[in-house]
Amino acid sequence: MTSVPTPIPSRTQFVLEEIKRRILTGRLTPGQALVETDLAAQFGVSKTPVREALKTLAGTGLVVMSQYKGVTVRMVDADMAREVYDVRLLLEPEALKRAVTRGASLDAAQAALTRADEATDTAERSLANREFHRALYLPCGNPLLGRMLDEVRDQAALVSAVAWAADPSWEREAAEHREILRLALAGDADGAGRALHAHIASFVRRAFPEAEPLTEDQVQDQEGQA
């Protein structure tokens, strides 16, 4: 019998989304303490929805709970970047190729790209960029593959937020996004997959040189051994 997920109360959902937004847009920085009483006062709620929201965020890897340090925003280092981006390199290009091959609509990706281009601040651009990538892999035709990429989506965005704060590279990434979408809309599944792979790999290489993400040849070798 399939279990039904327990709905998250509206107050907890509100607090959850707002804390996540602040983390992913850089308002809350890695290592920063998240104090329940302070957050409850800011949001005008009791500590209970804050506590539940923080537990959920710990489960997604955005915050860390420690018996001694309390709750803090997760620190980002080369090892974390490598782990998260290895998953993206292995799965995202394949998901995009499948979406293109099956002729899935990419209207949502085009809309997200437009929102990113028209964004007036870093927060809007960051959120639009996240939606762009999700709109590429979600219509792949394999719900499990989409959920697997969703699971690392927030952690990838945290890595990006840290990298952008240190070295903004919006224009370069926007140009790469446009090329990926151009190839996808032209029906070039392999070309779009290669462009997406190069985009993801080059970003983490620039942001965390020591992370050494997998090359496309290495990815193909791993797939051949599977």
In this prediction, residue 99 carries a pLDDT of 98
In this prediction, residue 211 carries a pLDDT of 57
In this prediction, residue 217 carries a pLDDT of 55
In this prediction, residue 67 carries a pLDDT of 84
Helix (H) or strand (E) holding 72: strand 70-73
Residues 6+ apart with CB under 8 A from 123: 21, 25, 26, 27
Contact (CB, 8 A) for 62 and 23: yes
Q: What is the pLDDT of residues 8-18, one digit of tens each?
A: 568 899 999 99
Q: What is the pLDDT of residues 111-155, one digit of tens each?
A: 999 998 888 877 788 888 889 999 999 999 999 999 999 988 888
User: What's the mean pLDDT in 96-115?
Assistant: 96
Contact (CB, 8 A) for 139 and 101: no
Residue 2 has pLDDT above 80, yes or no: no
Contact (CB, 8 A) for 142 and 46: no
As a whole number of angstroms, the distance between CA 103 and CA 189 comes to 10
Contact (CB, 8 A) for 155 and 62: yes
Nearest to 116 by CA among 135, 97, 98: 135
In this prediction, residue 220 carries a pLDDT of 52
User: What's the mean pLDDT in 14-35?
Assistant: 89
In this prediction, residue 8 carries a pLDDT of 55
Q: What is the pLDDT of residues 162-217, one digit of tens each?
A: 777 666 667 888 899 999 999 999 999 999 999 999 999 888 787 777 655 445 55
Distances (CA, A) of 16 to 12, 158, 217, 223: 6, 15, 39, 37
Q: What is the pLDDT of residues 45-90, one digit of tens each?
A: 999 999 999 999 998 888 999 888 899 999 888 888 888 889 999 9
pTM above the 0.85 mark? Answer: no
The distance from CA 126 to its chain's CA centroid, rounded to whole angstroms, is 10
Nearest to 203 by CA among 158, 165, 146, 159: 159
